[in-house]
Amino acid sequence: MSDHLTEDKEKSKIIIGTRGSELALWQANYVKGLLSNIGLDSELKIIKTQGDKILNLSFDKLEGKGFFTKELEEELLSGTIDLAVHSHKDLPTNHPEGLIIAAVSEREDPAELLLILKDCVDVQHKLSVKFGAMVGTSSNRRKAQLLAVRPDLEIEELRGNVITRIQKLRDEKYDAIMLAKAGVLRLGLDLSEFYVEELEPNELIPAPAQGVLAYQIRESDTALFEKLQAINNKDIAEQIGIERKVLNLFEGGCQMPLGCYCRKDGNTFQIWTSKADDGDDFPDRLFTESQTSEGIAEKIVAKFAPNREFPKNIFITRELSESSYLKHSMTKHGVEVEGRSLIRTFPSINKLDSFIFRNIEWVFFSSKNAIEYFFKLEPQLPKKVKFGVLGRASEDALRLHGKKADFNGEEEGIDTSDIAKEFAKLANGKNVLFPSAKGSLKTIQKELSADTKIVELTVYETVSVENVEKSNAEVLIFTSPSNVDSYFAENLLDPDQKVICIGKTTGQKFDDMGVKYTLPFSPDEIGLAEAVFALD
């Protein structure tokens, strides 16, 4: 394109190319508003893409290969539009020659939503959808991750724009469907007719760049490039740059069931990656942290190399069921898993005084054992009582009793004191019951204000197993401080054995011994699987 034509375009309205769906038009009008705020006049041109025309193929056969972007890019190159607005996750990682991404938006919430018909809800099951439910999604990435935690689900093809997909659920063609939260928020949709289960991006890992808009222009249009820097989010560009590079290095496009999500915690990049061979394959997951973006994508991809070596065996201080996520993720790679608890638990009380629940507004659990022993006592709780838990493992245990957590500390990170501070924002000034073990460290309670009424209830005690047999496994996983005490009362760690701990209080035991260990981000079996996968 000639410089003269570029200059002419500078003097006229900027033509924004967009698809015609409700969401695409919202996105284009959002950009139009941003341009107006920096003094640039613009208008929209609707362009129909191949992905809008072909409705008989799954999204995984379309996204990432230009099916939603090719026609917009062709019009950019021909000069009939000046700027194309894309959902960044739809873009191939390699741009056509002559085009560049000039700027990216802030990131809308990248979480996933599971919309469930209310008569198909069962909170006793993970994800709150009934056993054997039919779930609609055309994403192999979502399918693989869903089946990893709920293998009983029936995953069926779902096509159409956001409004169309919701209508299909409303028409009861599915029991539940999956949508990106970003699109729902941008369209301001009312979902009150459904039960909505939100899956955080470290739980169900989103597509690379999910929730981010890409502003694509001609490389020769340097004047527009400079102007667009006023609406460019450099921090988000850096973070999704890692995600997109991971996608590029895998050379799979969105046909590959790949999830990658990066965020920054202070100066530290935190990256979650999930990859499967296809939608029916159990996905491998990795969590990694880095102080720099340089080289981190290459390190992530190297962990997924087909010829990489895994530990021959692992030992965990907990009995595991046949449906265990950790066991499934390890046996996929031929890793033997031995699970046995090194402690025994028993109830501290056999009966509850109903008076203890008078005016209780919150019940907070720090462990699965506390949940089990508390509900064995058949507590008569107030109808409007709320529940708090430390992490997903406790949340899943709570579900088995038909209760849903109103606060899950795992969303706040792995530091218990940080979790306590976040819970304090909700519970200060309230009446809070803490069912716990004898000798509990009371980390959460210490952060609550003086006007909070704290009710302590010791529901169980632990004792160590005598004569604990030493494990020769290459990796030892400790699930509580009591299990650490029990194991090392009679055993020593071999120099080549690696240690993984659930929780900082468990890790503190190894700090005291001067032993190096790995602390998973998530204190549950998914987090443990990620931690084992990350080991060198």
Task: Cite the active site residues.
Answer: 90
Give phi and psi for 387, each to the nearest 5. Answer: -120, 135
Cα separation of 237 and 212, whole Å?
A: 9
Angle between helices 392-399 and 368-376 (to 10 degrees): 20
Instruction: Reduce the DSSP state of residue 146 to 3 states and report it.
Output: helix
Residue 262, token pair as written in the block: 């990066």
The DSSP bridge partners found for residue 197 are: 114
Cα separation of 500 and 474, whole Å?
A: 11
Cα separation of 140 and 181, whole Å?
A: 18
Measured over the CA atoms of residue 108, residue 109, residue 112 and residue 118, the dihedral's sign is: negative
- How far from the centroid of its chain's Cα atoms is residue 505's Cα? 24
CA quadruple 297, 295, 109, 228: dihedral, nearest 10: -120
Asked if 69 and 90 touch (Cβ cutoff 8 Å), the reply is yes
Cα separation of 302 and 308, whole Å?
A: 8
Asked if 106 and 235 touch (Cβ cutoff 8 Å), the reply is no
Residue 126, token pair as written in the block: 């993970």
Cα separation of 319 and 345, whole Å?
A: 13
Asked if 289 and 519 touch (Cβ cutoff 8 Å), the reply is no
Cα separation of 136 and 56, whole Å?
A: 15
Q: Is 182 left (phi over 0), alpha (psi -120 to 50) or beta?
A: alpha
Q: β-strands 176-180, 134-136: how paired?
A: parallel
What is the residue-wise DSSP string for 167-181? HHHHTTS-SEEEEEH
Q: β-strands 134-136, 154-156: how paired?
A: parallel
Residue 217, token pair as written in the block: 């222009």
CA distances to 96, 222, 248, 469 from 74, in Å: 9, 19, 22, 68
Q: Please tell me what DSSP assigns to residue 433.
A: E
